[in-house]
Amino acid sequence: MKILAVGGGSGGHVTPVAAVVEQLAELEGDKSIDVLFVCDRGFAPQARGIMSNVSVPVAVRTVTSGKLRRYPHLSFWQHFAHISIVGSNLVDMFKVAIGFFQSLVLIAQFRPDVVLAKGGFVCLPVGFAAWCLRRPLVIHDSDARPGLTARLLVRFATTIATGFPLKNYTYPSAKSHYVGVPIDQAYSPVSAEEQAAYKQALGYDPTKPMLMAFGGGLGSVNINDAAADLARALGDGVTVYNGTGTAHVERAEQRGAGLMNYHPEGFVYGLHDIMAAADLVITRASATALQELAGMSKPTIAVPGRQLADQHYNAKIFGAADAVVVLQDDELATGDRLTTTVRELLDSPDRRDALAQSFHTFAKPDAALQLAKLVIAAAKS
């Protein structure tokens, strides 16, 4: 079976594909599947790193892609008052067209039995090309608020899989399936002894609480700055690990210079081990990151990106269930609210346990398996 999977822009659109490929290999046999992963050029190095850890060979190719810039704080007409936004959107329309023709060539050459579109703007040209060449198309929408790419592709899809219950979507019920967000099965709760061992393996003192601050695969300057400031405010009694994103690691190192308890790292390939070691996590509210943390029952502070409406919607759902503490980007800049919140949580094991238990009820450990079964069914339809 030949599978062409596409996703990109962040690790949250790539790591789920890796989890699904592992399940496909188990269901169909290692030697029975041939997988090609397509992403945008900007995320290709990280995608190759992630796919290199999959148990079966996964070739990685790139196509040109573009995105439509839309900002929640601007009305539809206000966007036209910003020349930079209009110009960038026009340029990216041509990029999507180029990506479409590149995708036609890729699909014609590879001849996949099925195309899996995981998410990100790169899915649009590939998904449309798959439909034009009459290849079964399975799309997966991780976020509770359907993204633009998914909404555009839904009419061409053979099967639609969702990360949240179907009541959050307006997709056709006949071809929609709630599977959850695919994550590696390793993202499960660890014991106190195992957590201490993970801390030791990372070179950290297992007797000290550890805070993980993570802005996603591309990183977040606001979260990075807040993490360095937290390390300074909390002192040597707390270890602060900061997944900065490759582009921001130098800035983080400069801001945290001289802090022995602050540990910035560019791109995090051993994400599971860092999460397993952490006592408390600060993260963006991407669906994949939240699902991984829910699987591990980790007390979490979710900070949705200011201009990312999907993350605000995700955070709203988890926050309403008292599964995570939700803070806004603006509250990171002042520092006081974040520092107070972190101190309160670190000083209250009972509160952390309550958050973790509520969070874990959102876990869907079989999501990758269920999506793999849908991919196989579409390929054989």
Q: Are residues 23 and 153 both part of a single domain? A: yes
Nearest-5° angle of CA 297, CA 140, CA 67? 105
Q: Are 324 and 318 in contact (CB under 8 A)?
A: yes
Q: Are residues 209 and 333 both part of a single domain? A: yes
State the total domains in the chain.
Answer: 2
Binding residues for UDP-N-acetyl-alpha-D-glucosamine: 10-12, 311
Report the CATH number that the domain containing residue 271 is assigned in CATH. 3.40.50.2000
Q: Are residues 233 and 158 both part of a single domain? A: no
Q: Are residues 176 and 212 both part of a single domain? A: no
DSSP notation for 20-88: HHHHHHHHH-GGG-EEEEEE-GGGHHHHHHHHTTSSS-EEEEE---------TTS-TGGGGG-HHHHHH
pLDDT in the model for residue 90: 63
pLDDT in the model for residue 77: 45
Q: Are residues 110 and 127 both part of a single domain? A: yes
pLDDT in the model for residue 201: 96
Q: Are residues 374 and 349 both part of a single domain? A: no
Domain housing 268 = 192-360
Instruction: Provide φ and ψ at 237, rounded to 5°.
Output: -75, -10
Buried-exposed string 4-36: b where 16+ CB fall within 10 A, e elsewhere: bbbbbbbbbbbbbbbbbbbbbbeebeeeebbbb
Q: Which residues contact 169 (CB under 8 A, 6 or more apart)?
A: 141, 146, 162, 176
pLDDT in the model for residue 66: 64
Binding residues: 10-12, 311
Which position has the token pair 């195992």?
A: 194
- pTM of the entire predicted model: 0.84
pLDDT in the model for residue 86: 56
Cα torsion through 290, 291, 296, 298, rounded to 10? 20
Q: Are residues 233 and 354 both part of a single domain? A: yes
The tokens for 78 are 């206000």
Q: Are residues 47 and 75 both part of a single domain? A: yes
Q: Which residues contact 161 (CB under 8 A, 6 or more apart)?
A: 138, 139, 140, 141, 176, 177, 178, 179, 370, 371, 374
Instruction: Provide φ and ψ at 116, rounded to 5°.
Output: -110, 115
Q: Are residues 164 and 276 both part of a single domain? A: no
Q: Are 376 and 27 in contact (CB under 8 A)?
A: yes
For the chain (length 381 residues), average pLDDT per consecutive 10? 88 87 90 91 85 92 75 54 60 80 96 94 94 97 86 94 92 95 93 97 96 86 93 95 91 93 88 96 93 96 86 93 93 82 96 96 94 96 84
211 forms beta bridges with 240, 280
Q: Are residues 6 and 104 both part of a single domain? A: yes
CA-CA distance, 344 to 338, in Å (whole number)? 10
Q: Are 127 and 153 in contact (CB under 8 A)?
A: yes
Q: Are residues 211 and 172 both part of a single domain? A: no
Kind plus residue range of the DSSP H or E element containing 296: helix 287-296
Q: Are residues 58 and 175 both part of a single domain? A: yes
Q: Is 224 helix (H, G, I), strand (E, B) or coil?
A: helix
